[in-house]
Each structure stands twice: as structure tokens, then as C-alpha cells.
Amino acid sequence: LAAFDQALREGPSDEVEYLARLNRGSLLHERGDAEEALLAYRALLAEGRFRVYEGQTRLLLGQFYQDQSRLEKALEEYTRVRDDFPLTDVSAMALYRTGLLYLQEHSERERAQEYLEEVLKEKRGSKGAILAQEVLRDLVKLDQLRAEIHRADSLATAQVAQKDSLAIAASDSMAAAADDSTASAALRVKPRISQRATRRSSTRARGSVVGDKRTLLQSHFAVAEMYRDRLAIADSAAFFYAEILRRFPESNQIPRALYSLATIRMEGRGGLEAARLDLEELISSFPDTEHANAARRHLGYQLKVTAEDLAISEFSEIEEIRLRDPTDVGHYIPLMDALSRTYPQTLAGAKAAFLAAWTYENIAPVDTLEAERRFSLVLSEFPDSPFAKVVRERQEARSTGMIVKLERQLRTIDRGLMPGERIEIIAVEPDSADSVLLSRKHMGFALRAHRHGRLDEASEF
């Protein structure tokens, strides 16, 4: 405020004076001095020499009313900007703010989308149009994520129904065999075969259901974070976090969901008291997690050394041993195994398990069978960690034939080679240390550089 006041005392131009007074009012608003901010905005509107800036002033005034939950007054200001300054940057922003208000405050998705689409016609290329495009893309992504949830739910229901029908069929087969006492020995073994087939089908179904539950959990988090971080619709975000708590009580991601739900409630009108029960539950049920320590900070409690802290410290010591002599796998691999067993719910534990698997795949003596076993262990023991995601991408790259496609793309480069030039190696199969996304990106960069004749740059990629 002192800086703005000093600028006003210097006798500035109308433009500088307007900006200083407008920003001063905005700062008062952010500080909670609502009445002073309102007086500042109205004073600007009352002076005719600032008529050229009226649209911008009314946009801030509309935002002020919206923050005060005076939604009808906010809509009046946005409508006035659209009517008085058509086809301008401020009218596009007013349309954007109107659409966002209907989306965030009234949950009127269709009406909000109409306003957001109208922004693109009002002033394409304006800030309002750019923001509207982002929201429209977010809504499309949100629909895709919710469709994934619906699809995963449907698959899980179908698999459970199939499992039940297989069990009934096996039971009927066994009953029929028991009634037929004159059946041959070959016929008498059919119930056992049926039982084994049922058990195999049930095992496959359970594995598939586990995969679907993981996909379902990830989709719930993605939707909740989309509502919270991108669309700023707190109620919808809170609903999906609560759904995670209800539907996945056995997941190790519960502390994350519980803390996210608490922060949403803290940011609401109830403040810290509205989130106190969630924070207390987080501390009592998951005392050794980072989220519990974050809850302690909010409540003013003493922090506790968490399992993650201990795991990180131990991993650092093992990493020093590994870096001194990477080939001495017999020394540091057992230490990594002990770490991942001792701290099974930590990111450092997942990293240790992943690095042990990577070592068997890439450091002599290479043992691919042991590496595969350990990668599978990462998936089963740390399914929600980022390292499990890398393992799944690695498996996908192999199963979808991505490497073959990359090789086919490489052959197209041959056509542009000069006599005497040759390609030795530009791309190899991504190992567990790479991500499929990074490999594709580098390949794209390489092909583009080659098409433009930048062969040195292409070879680097």
C-alpha cells in the first residue's frame, strides 16, 4: 500500500494513477478490507477521465462481489461489461468469468459451457479466450476420466458375476457326478478338472479385479485433483476424495486422500475447525506418514520422525555404497531388500525395490529372470508408487510392439543419408530406467531434426 500511495503522491499520468488506485483496491480486497476496496472501485467509476478503463474496473468489481458470495451483483457487473464494451478483451473476460461462475458456484455445466464457447467467438486470442479454451479442455478430460471410472466399475461387476456363475456351474457338475455311481473313472475325474478350471478362472478374475481397482483408484484421484486444482470446484473434489475413503479403505493412498479432504475444508468458510476431525484422524490412524506430520503442523503439535524420513536416511547410506562400486551387487542388494521390507509403505522403499530390479537387469552379472521377478515384486508390493508406473510402461512397451514401431521409423531415415554415412545406434529398447514417454519424445525430436538436415542434432537425440 505504501508503494501505491507514494506513486499517487508523485503526480502521475492518468494511466499510472488509475493502475495505482485499481491495484490498491485489489490489495485491500485481498487483505480482507472489503469496504475500503469497494469504495476504491466505486471512486474510479465515478470519475469520467477513467471511462476508458471502466470495463477493467467493473471486472474487478464483479470478482469482488463474487468473492463476497453476492453472485447476482457479480453477474450484473459482468453483463454490463459485455453490453457496454462488445468484442473487446474485457467483454471476452466477462464472458469467461460468467461461465466460470455458473460452473463453480451453481454447478450448471451446460450453461457454463455455452458461455465459455461464446468467449472464443467474442475475441479470439484474448486472455479470456485462452483461459476459456483451457477450461473446455479440462471438461473434456474430466468426461474421459469419469468414463474410465464407469468402465472400470462395469468390468468389476461383470467379473464378479462371472466368478459367481463359474462357482455355481462347478457345484452343479460335482453334484451330478456324485449321483452317477456307475460313471467311469474318466467321468469321475471331471469334477476335479472342473474345480481346477474354476480355481484358475477365479485367480485370473481376482488379478483382473485388482488391476481394475488400481485403475479405479487412480481415476478417482485424477478426477478429484482436476476438480480441486484445475476447475476450483471444491465440493466436487471433496466428494471424490470422500469416495476414495469409502471405496478403497485398504489402500495405502488413504492418508493422501484424507489430507486432501482436510485441506479443502480448511480453505472453506469453516477454516481449521472444519478440518480438525480429519486431521486428528490422520494423526491417530497413520501416525508415521508425512501427511500426519503436515496435520501436526496445522494443529500446532510436535512433529514426529516418520517412516519415510527413516527410509530416506537409510537409502542415502546404501546409495553411497552402491555408487562407490556399482558392480558389488552382493554388498548393497541385500541392504536394499531389507530396506524395502522394513519400510513397505514408503517411496524410498519402493525406490530401493525398483533399483534392485534395475541392477539385475543392467549391471553385470545380468540376471533377467531375477530382474523380472523383482519388477513383478515392485508391482505387487508398491502398486501405487511412481516406480510401479514405470514398470507397467515397460511391460506395455514390450507387449504393444512399440520397439518394432520405433525401428520402422528409423528405417525412414536411411533415405536421407549421404554416401559413406551410416547409422549405428540411435535408439534401443528402453530399459527400466527410461520412460516410454521420454523415448517417444526423443525419437520425435530426432526425426524432426533429420528432416531439417540437422544430422548432428538428430544423432544426439
The predicted pLDDT at position 401 comes to 75
| Main-chain dihedrals φ then ψ at residue 114, nearest 5 degrees | -60, -45
Are 324 and 444 within one domain?
Answer: no
Amino acid at 289: T
Q: Is residue 124 part of a domain?
A: yes
Which ranges of 85-189 does DSSP label H, i.e. alpha helix? 89-104, 109-122, 127-179, 185-188
Are 17 and 103 within one domain?
Answer: yes
The predicted pLDDT at position 149 comes to 84
Tens-place pLDDT, residues 360-374: 988 878 888 899 999
Q: Is residue 379 part of a domain?
A: yes
DSSP state of 417: P
10-residue mean pLDDT profile of the chain (461 residues): values are 76 80 81 80 80 82 84 90 88 92 89 91 87 91 87 68 54 49 41 45 47 76 89 91 92 90 89 92 89 91 88 93 90 93 89 93 84 90 85 82 70 67 56 53 66 63 68
- The residues, ordered by sequence, that sit 6+ positions from 258 with a Cβ below 8 Å of its Cβ are 241, 245, 278, 281, 282, 286, 291
Arithmetic mean of pLDDT over the chain: 79
The predicted pLDDT at position 260 comes to 93
Last residue of a domain, one of 136, 162, 177: 136
DSSP state of 189: T
Nearest to 447 by CA among 403, 419, 421, 414: 414
Are 14 and 104 within one domain?
Answer: yes
The predicted pLDDT at position 190 comes to 43
- Answer for the pair 128, 119: CB distance below 8 angstroms, yes or no: yes
pTM: 0.65
Question: Helices 290-299 and 254-267 sit at what angle, rounded to 10 degrees?
Answer: 30
> What's the chain's Rg over C-alpha atoms?
31
Question: Helix and strand tally (H, E) in the chain?
Answer: 22, 0
Cell numbers placing 54: 471502466
The predicted pLDDT at position 33 comes to 77
- The residues, ordered by sequence, that sit 6+ positions from 339 with a Cβ below 8 Å of its Cβ are 311, 314, 315, 318, 348, 349, 352
Query: Counting beta carbons within 10 angstroms of the beta carbon of residue 332, is it exposed (0 to 12), middle (13 to 18) or buried (19 or more)?
Result: buried
Nearest to 303 by CA among 320, 288, 286: 288
Q: Is residue 130 part of a domain?
A: yes
Task: Report the number of distinct structural domains present in the chain.
Answer: 3
Q: Is residue 298 part of a domain?
A: no
Last residue of a domain, one of 400, 419, 437: 400
The residue segments making up the domain with residue 344 are 307-400
- Answer for the pair 57, 45: CB distance below 8 angstroms, yes or no: yes
Are 108 and 129 within one domain?
Answer: yes
Q: Is residue 178 part of a domain?
A: no
With the CA atoms of 39, 43, 44 and 50 taken in that order, what torsion angle do they form, in degrees rounded to the nearest 10? 180
Q: Is residue 17 part of a domain?
A: yes
Q: Is residue 167 part of a domain?
A: no
- Answer for the pair 147, 216: CB distance below 8 angstroms, yes or no: no
Are 377 and 432 within one domain?
Answer: no
Cell numbers placing 114: 455455452
Are 396 and 412 within one domain?
Answer: no
Q: Is residue 283 part of a domain?
A: no
Q: What CATH number does the domain containing 21 carry?
A: 1.25.40.10
Are 323 and 430 within one domain?
Answer: no
94 to 37, 52, 147, 341: CA distances (angstroms): 20, 16, 32, 56
Are 29 and 119 within one domain?
Answer: yes
Last residue of a domain, one of 90, 113, 136: 136
The predicted pLDDT at position 352 comes to 94
Distance in angstroms (rounded) separating the CA atoms of residues 261 and 263: 6
Cell numbers placing 389: 508406473
